[in-house]
Amino acid sequence: MVEVNLNCESDTKPEKYVIENVLNGKCDIILNENIAEKTREDEDGKTKTYFTYDMYRISKNNYRDTLETDLADNTNFAVWLNFAKEQYAKQIIEISDNERIAALEQAIIDIGEVIGND
């Protein structure tokens, strides 16, 4: 399973990758891309540095001793990142029948407002 959080923010620069939750031969791999350093003024008028990035988490991946070395290599990192993006795109978003009906009802209301029907 792949989870994606786009437009993340942090006060500290995120690592390009993180391996965590190593347990029973499995682990989570976090891949961060589009890491950018930005600044803004805080309430006191002081300039504050922060980082934005996109995060991909691959859950319950097989752990191996060479995993960190593999991720440190730019080519292998790109392969892992592309894998995460492809897997995320393939995931089926499951919604209940009630959520589906509510979404359809809202869509009908929205269409009615656009075409001028009340």
Strands 17-23 and 26-41: antiparallel
pLDDT tens for 7-45 read: 999 999 999 999 999 999 999 999 999 999 999 998 899
94 three-state secondary structure:
coil
* pLDDT for the residue 82: 94
pLDDT tens for 68-95 read: 999 999 999 999 999 999 988 887 666 6
Share of the chain above pLDDT 70, in %: 92
pTM equals 0.73
pLDDT tens for 39-68 read: 999 889 999 999 999 999 999 999 999 999
| Contacts (Cβ under 8 Å, ≥6 apart) of 17 | 29, 30, 31, 32, 71, 72, 77, 80
